Amino acid sequence: MSVAALPPHAMIIGAGIVGVATAAHLQQQGFRVTLIDRGPVGEGCSFGNAGILAFADVLPTVRPNVLLKIPGWLIDPLGPLTIRPAYLPRALPWFLAATRNALPQRVRAITAARAALCRSVVDDHRDLLRTANASELMVERETLRVFESESEFEAEAHERQIKAEHGYQSIIYDAAECREMEPALAPHIVKGASHGGWYFIKSPLKVTQAVAAAVVQGGGEFIHDEVLAIDVKDGKATALVLAQRGRLPVDRVVVAAGAYSNRLLKPLGERILLEAERGYHMELSDPGISLSRPVTFARTPAVITPMEGGLRMAGTDEFAGLDAAENWQRADALFRNFKLILPGLKAPGETASRWMGRRPGTPDSLPVLGPSTRAANLWYNFGHSHLGLTWAPSSARLLAQLMAGKKPSVDMSPYRADRF
């Protein structure tokens, strides 16, 4: 009597939203799955992000009009972007590559690749959250972007046009309509607009935990340990080296370790330009005002989101590497910025929380998604930058299709690991 072959087994390194979504989709494709993380499920960037599903964000993070703003931002040590001087030599190759990717031809190609990932975001989130019994955590309500002058509004006309060309049409509001939607807004706001496609999650941590719990309930395993290395021999990953458990033989491996992914891949000779785009948040449990939706404003790239625990202000980019100490003044600066347009916002008290997380950013604003160049059974799903929560279910679905030998629904070549 023949013994039936066991289904393929995938070990996923990283239990943030990208990793747990990958595990969920691999289970749907018939894989046995094991999640491995040195920390609790969802307590990295999946804990502290702004909770935004920015499925209309087809334009790359670094583009010509952003390049023009960078010198002014860098003058302010607490501005939207900062590079710690000691870290500049290490970050320079990333920034040079980002500048090359801001050329018009590259922007068009990157925009098309981002749009391909954005196309199914809402449906993929609905499916993933329904499976995890967490649908109530997703709010399908548009974000409001506000402007303090007509010139600010006109400066973004081209971006709204590009979004519209990809099917994301912004709705424009006058000052009275803005305050009718959100009475807490300051009287000097002159205009508002929808983003054309920004919904939100009331608790990113709960979503990640719910998906992980569903994976475990479906037969998956979670190992709380640190992966120190990936052993590769003769073009195949043979084992993971763990801090506590030692060597674990592997069948297939997915690296979804966010900004830490390169620590595992550089020893293999994989050359991927990946930086920790360090973001901050401040959350006010007693904010003194209420919002019915996330709000952004044109002066600075940040967002304030109504969450289960209060109002969370999140944003900024700090380049200082993985291990540098936090600069909590950057979290405090978020409050000062939003106070300008939300004058009733109460000053942070003892219950206010501050957080810093390391977004995994690539210089072309696209994730690394697909097979490794170093081992036939090694796969990647990281580098989502500011859109980790947004793209997680979609990138996970596409990778699971690839690993199951199926043809993905989009062209995967823009996300390949050897593009840098």
Pairing between β-strand 246-249 and β-strand 236-242 as defined by DSSP bridges: antiparallel
Per the DSSP assignment, residues forming a β-bridge with 12 are 35, 254
pLDDT reported for residue 73: 78
Separation in Å, CA 241 to CA 32, 226, 256: 20, 9, 16
- What φ, ψ does residue 376 adopt, rounded to 5°? -70, -25
Mean pLDDT in residue range 216-241: 98
Is the separation of the CB atoms in 248 and 239 below 8 Å? yes
- For 38-174, list the strands marked E by DSSP: 52-53, 81-83, 138-139, 144-147, 172-174
pLDDT reported for residue 266: 97
- What φ, ψ does residue 86 adopt, rounded to 5°? -65, -20
Residue 136 in tokens: 């109530």
Domain membership of residue 1 (yes or no) is no
C-alpha 26/C-alpha 409 separation (Å) is 16
Taken in order 101, 107, 108, 110, the sign of the CA dihedral is positive
Is the separation of the CB atoms in 174 and 191 below 8 Å? yes
C-alpha 191/C-alpha 27 separation (Å) is 47
Domain membership of residue 286 (yes or no) is yes
pLDDT confidence of 63, banded at 50, 70, 90? confident
pLDDT reported for residue 64: 76
Q: Which domain holds residue 403?
A: 9-415
Mean pLDDT in residue range 31-42: 97
Domain membership of residue 4 (yes or no) is no
Domain membership of residue 101 (yes or no) is yes
Mean pLDDT in residue range 24-29: 98
Contacts of 313 (CB under 8 A, 6+ apart): 281, 282, 283, 284, 302, 303, 304, 334, 335, 337, 338
Domain membership of residue 410 (yes or no) is yes
Domain count, the chain: 1
pLDDT reported for residue 119: 96
Which string of b and e fits 152-174 if b means at least 16 CB within 10 Å? Answer: bbeebeebbebbeebebebeebe
Mean pLDDT in residue range 46-59: 97
Pairing between β-strand 81-83 and β-strand 310-319 as defined by DSSP bridges: parallel
- For residue 317, the domain's CATH number is 3.50.50.60
Helix (H) or strand (E) holding 283: strand 275-284
Domain membership of residue 3 (yes or no) is no
- What φ, ψ does residue 163 adopt, rounded to 5°? -60, -45
C-alpha 375/C-alpha 323 separation (Å) is 28
Is the separation of the CB atoms in 142 and 295 below 8 Å? no
pLDDT tens per residue, range 196-218:
999 999 999 999 999 999 999 99
Between 28 and 72, the higher pLDDT residue: 28
Q: Is 216 exposed, middle or buried (0-12, 13-18, 19+ CB in 10 A)?
A: middle
Closest CA to 63 of 112, 101, 114, 7: 101
Domain membership of residue 297 (yes or no) is yes
pLDDT confidence of 126, banded at 50, 70, 90? very high
C-alpha 108/C-alpha 180 separation (Å) is 37
pLDDT reported for residue 4: 60
Residue 74 pLDDT > 80: no
Helices (H), 182-328: 204-217, 261-265
Name the residue type at position 196: G
Give 220-241 as a DSSP string.
-EEEE--EEEEEEETTEEEEEE
Kindly state the DSSP code that residue 3 receives in the 8-state scheme. Answer: P
Domain membership of residue 64 (yes or no) is yes
Q: Is 175 exposed, middle or buried (0-12, 13-18, 19+ CB in 10 A)?
A: middle
Is the separation of the CB atoms in 57 and 308 below 8 Å? no
Closest CA to 171 of 182, 160, 162: 160
pLDDT tens per residue, range 248-297:
999 999 999 999 999 999 999 999 999 999 999 999 999 999 999 999 99
